[in-house]
Amino acid sequence: MQFVSTRGKEQVSLSTAITQGLAADGGLFVPVTWPAAAVAQLPAGDNLAQVAEKFLEPFARGDALAPHLAAITAEAFNFPAPLLPLRDEARLSVLELFHGPTAAFKDFGARFLAAALTRLRAGLQRPLRILVATSGDTGGAVAAAFHRRPGVQVTVLFPKGLVSPTQQQQLTCWGDNVQSLAVRGSFDDCQALVKQAFLDPALRSEFELSSANSINLGRLLPQAAYYVAASLTVQRQTGAPASFVIPSGNLGNSTACVWARRLGAPIEEIVLAHNANRTVPDYLSEGVLRMRASVPTLASAMDVGSPSNLERLSALYPDAVSLGAAVSAVSVEDNAIRARIRADHDRYGVIWCPHTATAAEAWARLPAARRERGPWVLVATAHPAKFREIVEPLIGRPVPVPVNLARLFELPAQYAEIDPTLAALRGRLAEAA
């Protein structure tokens, strides 16, 4: 199985794509061909690791990772992704993706990537330097997944003052082989720094670089597995394909769902729920792509004005018309996010994080005829305890904190601040070498 850059003809194996992260020409790796995955034959039930192994097997066939795939998926998918009915809503259920170590959906992909790279790096002397830009959740998941793993050093870049206090603690409490940098700028500045580093010949010769953002194929492919598993469960329960409403920012999680459908998963509609960062909704409605600076919102992990994975979606759907036929997009303002957190807590007794609330509001705005076609799945991407400062005043009671998050609050924070320049990043990388 080979993968090709979205910007050229460079073809590489799965192992190489995962290790490189970004193609040499700056593009993102996508499959050269789409394997005929026998999705209907995948195992049913709660064994997500088994579903992931069988689903990903065609991508690893003939690769160095193939003999390790069962062990990698068992390590990455060792916590549940329950699909739960929502009270009083017969056509709507919730896919909870926040039961991992850092209480966010990104734990799945980060742990898969860490397990894969650990095996690929076994016996090598030169350490791999992983750069990861984060708008809130990615950095914590990557840091947790790679913490104290041999042969790997991680540098996490996050926008200073633009993540929640809980998120910042998750980004900065690790030490050891994890370096945390607060960038004086936006998430887009952080993401641009990572891309600049990959394209800088001097930096690439000094360090062996890779990425753990959703630009890395090793993050995105395993995320498709839980959409396959959830859609199969819905189909077997209802006899109909599932439609998903997905909190969307950098579009990695959304692209994973699109890929799952492309590979045969029984998925009908895919609705992308964006916050006030309107790049994708405006592109679909106006037909003109205008990347822009990100806007800070309550749903901070989705504060992305220049979403990287739009390039992967454009490889499948090269214009707004074709993409708009494949997905739809809704933009939700902060006031509506607040109102949705209050309303759904009162109506259903649920507690949403701001990102999940964005998706809940997007679903509520769909025309009744579309909602009634169902079944629909609301994707819950983070535990609300990561956003207590926002959520608790809205619902009037404390948010229970999972044990895995509580233990991180006891660790000391360690981070440095840098300007959003490649020179500043190079200096910090040299210090940590």
> How does pLDDT run across 229-280, given as a tens digit for each residue?
999 999 999 999 999 999 999 999 999 999 999 999 999 999 999 999 999 9
pLDDT, mean over the chain: 92
| Residues facing residue 133 across a β-bridge | 157
pLDDT on residue 21: 86
Q: What is the pLDDT of residue 37?
A: 65
pLDDT value of residue 433: 65
**pLDDT at position 215:** 84
pLDDT at 198 over 90: no
> What type of residue sits at position 122?
A
Return the SS3 of 149: coil
pLDDT at 353 over 80: yes
Reported as a pLDDT band with limits 50, 70 and 90, residue 137 is confident
Give all domains of the chain, ordered by start, each with its CATH number: 71-105+218-402 (3.40.50.1100)
* Residue type at 78 in one-letter notation: N
- Retrieve residue 121's tokens: 């790096």
61-66 CB contacts, 8 Å cutoff, 24+ apart: 61/1, 62/1, 62/13, 63/1, 63/13, 63/14, 63/15, 64/13, 64/15, 64/120, 65/14, 65/15, 65/18, 65/116, 65/119, 65/120
Q: Which of 108, 183, 170, 179 is nearest to 140 (CA)?
A: 170
pTM here is 0.91
Question: For 211-228, how does the pLDDT look when each residue is reduced to its tens digit (9 = 90+)?
Answer: 887 889 999 999 999 999
Integer angstrom CA distances of residue 22 from 17, 107, 267, 337, 433: 7, 20, 29, 34, 21
pLDDT at position 93, please? 97
Q: If residue 117 lies in a helix (H) or strand (E), which one and from where to where? A: helix 106-120
Distance of CA 247 to the CA centre of its chain: 10
Helix and strand numbers (H, E) in the chain are 19, 14
**Which has more pLDDT, 423 or 121?**
423
Residue 46 pLDDT: 59
Average pLDDT in the 168-190 region? 92
Partner residues linked to 128 by β-bridges: 152, 208
8-state DSSP, 39: G
Nearest by Cα to 411 from 183, 144, 162: 144
Going by pLDDT thresholds of 50, 70 and 90, the confidence category of residue 140 is confident
Tokens coding 425:
């990043």
pLDDT, greater one: 182 or 404: 182
- Stretch among 121-125, 311-315, 393-397 having the lowest mean pLDDT: 121-125
Taking residues 369-377, what's their average pLDDT? 92
* Confidence label for 43 from pLDDT (cuts 50, 70 and 90): low
In this predicted structure, the answer to whether residue 38 has a pLDDT above a threshold of 80 is no
> Given pLDDT bands bounded at 50, 70 and 90, which one contains residue 9?
confident
pLDDT for res 20:
87
pLDDT in tens, 58-69: 999 999 999 999
